[in-house]
């Protein structure tokens, strides 16, 4: 008789369980999540008028006396099914802010709306791929103080591992790169304040009066470029003072908003804390700033394309983009174990080393070594931009008949505790199969998403 693998034996054991059908239902309701969280507990809903129990659910009757829920990880490398769901939610969240829907009025379509890309400045020349053009050509040749050539001249393929690597690692300003990441959140906050200030001053308003006239909303996503520096894509919208339901003032035009974004990005300056080792660095956005109007006439870039473009980035972990690791690094030696380029590893080591300096303690650089010092979320949005992930999840739960909001006159008591996570080998195999089936069934929706993503958005 053929020897069965451990996975097969485990899968057979599961399939022979009398509660297998119900177990499979649970797996399907998590979308085939690769690392589900297991909970044990109960929910009881009763009428406040009669004390009659209207609904009772207890995991005691479930397979293994537990209920499995999604891990909700956004990264495709960690959990493909949950990352697909997260990308879908992000798509709807960004789309609602552009086109309305999900509690956002459709009138947002006619508001001044822009898609802006802000980059990091240069920390030293890196190899780049430019459509068959030679990389950093230099007629006069020349060498840096470390004896490395100042130019390159090779026509790199975009898959060339050299692309994004510095021409001279010794000339490259690693501390500035890491510290820029650590201050990216502050640079963004100052940028937003600057946009409001410039809009106000362009029409002779005092800055403090701006909130009485208009409101700026945005959703932004961070992306690692090939040189492992974060850049930011943002959807920016101008509403009236009350937000999405309110018309902006007549002076709130696309041209004025574009101008305010450009000038603010060009002028923001954040200084690092003084360090005897590094000095005090002035940090700014890179000179490459791209601002495009999103027109209602859908001439250039469609709103769906923008939403899909943003959604695409939230599923990528730092590891997948080759710019870091998906998990926190706990020791200096962990850095060696990360599958990354020499450039990324040098950034990690710089991050760890600077993290040991007292003056940089508030930046928590060691805790964020895996993201090269960047502490922000991948997606951030202002409150008035559109709906929330929580609202989208609640809507989905309602569709599935779970977690219905209690009727008036009823109360719910819930008691839950965490009892574990993950799959046994056989369960993992079955869950992967369920996830694949669901993915195939959802292919129509995703094909739409992909065709929208396929729209060329140029460099960024
Ligand atoms: Zn999951
Ligand atoms: Zn090159
Ligand atoms: Zn050099």
Structure tokens given for 81 = 């099914």
pLDDT computed for residue 387 by the predictor:
79
Burial 421-446 (b: 16+ CB within 10 A, else e): eebeebbbbbbbebbeebeeebeeee
* CA of 74 relative to ligand 1 center, distance in Å: 8
pLDDT digits (tens, 9 = 90+) for 349-406: 999 999 999 999 999 999 999 989 998 777 778 888 877 777 877 777 665 545 555 5
Tell me the CA–centroid distance for residue 173 and ligand 2, in Å. Answer: 18
Whether the Cβ atoms of residue 451 and residue 309 lie closer than 8 Å to each other: no
Q: pLDDT tens digits, residue range 151-194?
A: 998 999 888 889 999 999 999 999 999 999 999 999 999 999 99
pLDDT for the residue numbered 106: 85
CA of 340 to the centre of ligand 2 (A): 19
The Cα–Cα gap between 154 and 163 comes to 11
53 pLDDT more than 60: yes
Distance 121 CA to ligand 2 centre (A): 19
Cα 286 to ligand 2 centroid, rounded to whole Å: 21
- What was the pLDDT predicted at 445? 60
Q: What is the pLDDT of residue 44?
A: 86
Ligand 1 centre to CA of 366 (Å) is: 27
Calculate the average pLDDT of the chain.
85
pLDDT of residue 95: 82
Q: How many angstroms does the Cα of residue 369 sit away from the middle of ligand 1?
A: 24
**Cα-to-centroid distance, 5 and ligand 2 (Å):** 49
Q: What is the pLDDT of residue 454?
A: 46
8 A C-beta contact, residue 379 and residue 307: no
**Model pLDDT, residue 298:** 52
Buried b (16+ CB within 10 A) or exposed e, 166-190: bbbeeebbbbbbbbbbbbbbebbeb
Looking at 17-31, 170-184, 265-279, 308-322, which range is the least confident one? 308-322
Query: Ligand 1 center to residue 242 CA distance, Å?
Result: 37
User: What's the confidence (pLDDT) of residue 407?
Assistant: 63
Question: What's the gap in Å between 118 CA and the centre of ligand 3?
Answer: 27
What separation in Å is there between the alpha carbon of 372 and the centre of ligand 3? 22
The pLDDT value recorded for residue 448 is 57
Q: How far apart are CA 355 and CA 269, in angstroms?
A: 22
Burial-class residue 115 by CB neighbours within 10 Å (0-12, 13-18, 19+).
Answer: buried
Question: What local confidence, expressed as pLDDT, does residue 360 receive?
Answer: 96
CA of 164, nearest ligand number: 2
Name, in order, each residue with C-beta under 8 angstroms of 359's C-beta and a sequence gap of 6 or more.
Answer: 273, 274, 275
Q: How far is the CA of 99 from the centre of ligand 2 (A)?
A: 42
Task: Answer yes or no: are the C-beta atoms of 185 and 375 closer than 8 Å.
Answer: yes
Residue corresponding to tokens 């409001």: 196
The alpha carbon of 128 and the centre of ligand 2 are apart by a number of angstroms equal to 6
Taking every pair of C-alpha atoms in the chain, what is the biggest distance, in angstroms?
Answer: 90
Dihedrals φ, ψ of 324, to 5°?
A: 135, -160
Cα(36) to ligand 1 centroid in Å equals 6
Res 456: pLDDT: 35
The ligand minimizing its distance to the Cα of 144 is: 3
Which among 54, 58, 29 is positioned nearest to 41, based on CA atoms? 58
Distance from the CA of 169 to the center of ligand 2, in angstroms? 13
pLDDT at 144 over 70: yes
Query: Measuring CA to CA, how many Å separate 249 from each of 6, 23, 201, 215?
Result: 67, 56, 14, 10
pLDDT value at 223 more than 90: no
Cα–ligand 3 centroid distance for 150 (angstroms): 8
Q: State whether residue 411 is helix, strand or coil.
A: strand
How does DSSP assign 5-54, residue by residue? PHHHHHHHHHHTSTTHHHHHHHHHHTTT-SSPEEEEEEEEEEETTT--EE
Residue 202's pLDDT band, with cuts at 50, 70 and 90, is: very high
Distance 230 CA to ligand 3 centre (A): 23
Q: Report how far ligand 3's centroid is from the alpha carbon of 166 (Å).
A: 9
Global pTM value = 0.78
């Amino acid at each position: 008789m053929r020897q069965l693998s451990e996975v097969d034996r485990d899968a057979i054991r599961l399939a022979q369980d009398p509660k297998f059908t119900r177990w499979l239902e649970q797996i399907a309701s998590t979308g085939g999540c690769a690392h589900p969280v297991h909970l044990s507990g109960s929910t009881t809903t009763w009428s406040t008028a009669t004390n009659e129990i209207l609904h009772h659910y207890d995991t005691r009757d479930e397979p293994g006396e537990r209920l499995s829920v999604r891990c909700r990880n956004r990264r495709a490398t960690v959990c493909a099914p949950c990352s697909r769901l997260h990308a879908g939610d992000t798509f709807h969240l960004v789309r609602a802010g552009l086109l309305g829907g999900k509690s956002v009025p459709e009138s947002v379509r006619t508001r001044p709306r822009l898609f802006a890309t802000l980059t990091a400045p240069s920390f030293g020349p890196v190899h780049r791929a430019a459509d068959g053009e030679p990389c950093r050509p230099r007629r006069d040749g020349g060498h840096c103080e470390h004896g490395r050539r100042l130019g390159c001249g090779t026509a790199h393929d975009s898959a060339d591992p050299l692309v994004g690597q510095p021409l001279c690692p010794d000339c490259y300003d690693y501390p500035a790169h890491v510290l820029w990441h650590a201050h990216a959140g502050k640079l963004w906050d100052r940028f937003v304040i600057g946009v409001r200030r410039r809009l106000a001053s362009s029409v002779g308003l005092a800055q403090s009066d701006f909130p009485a006239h208009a409101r700026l909303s945005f959703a932004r996503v961070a992306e690692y470029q090939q040189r492992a520096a974060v850049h930011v894509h943002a959807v920016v919208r101008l509403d009236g003072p009350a937000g999405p339901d309110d018309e902006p003032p007549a002076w709130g035009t696309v041209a004025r908003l574009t101008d305010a974004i450009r000038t603010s990005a060009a002028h923001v300056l954040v200084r690092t804390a003084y360090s005897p080792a590094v000095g005090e660095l002035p940090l700014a956005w890179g000179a490459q700033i791209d601002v495009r109007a999103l027109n209602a006439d859908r001439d250039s870039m469609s709103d769906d394309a923008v939403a899909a473009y943003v959604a695409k980035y939230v599923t990528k972990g730092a590891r997948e983009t080759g710019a870091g690791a998906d998990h926190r690094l706990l020791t200096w030696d962990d850095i060696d174990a990360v599958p990354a380029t020499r450039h990324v590893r040098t950034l990690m080591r710089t991050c760890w080393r600077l993290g040991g300096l007292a003056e940089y303690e508030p930046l928590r650089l060691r805790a964020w070594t895996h993201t090269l010092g960047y502490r922000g979320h991948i997606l951030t949005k202002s409150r008035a931009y559109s709906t929330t992930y929580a609202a989208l999840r609640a809507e989905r739960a309602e569709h599935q008949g779970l977690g219905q909001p209690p009727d008036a006159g009823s109360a719910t008591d819930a008691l839950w505790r965490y009892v574990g996570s993950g799959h046994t080998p056989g369960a993992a195999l079955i869950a992967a199969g369920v996830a694949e089936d669901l993915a195939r069934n959802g292919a129509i929706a995703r094909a739409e998403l992909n065709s929208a993503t396929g729209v060329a958005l140029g460099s960024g």
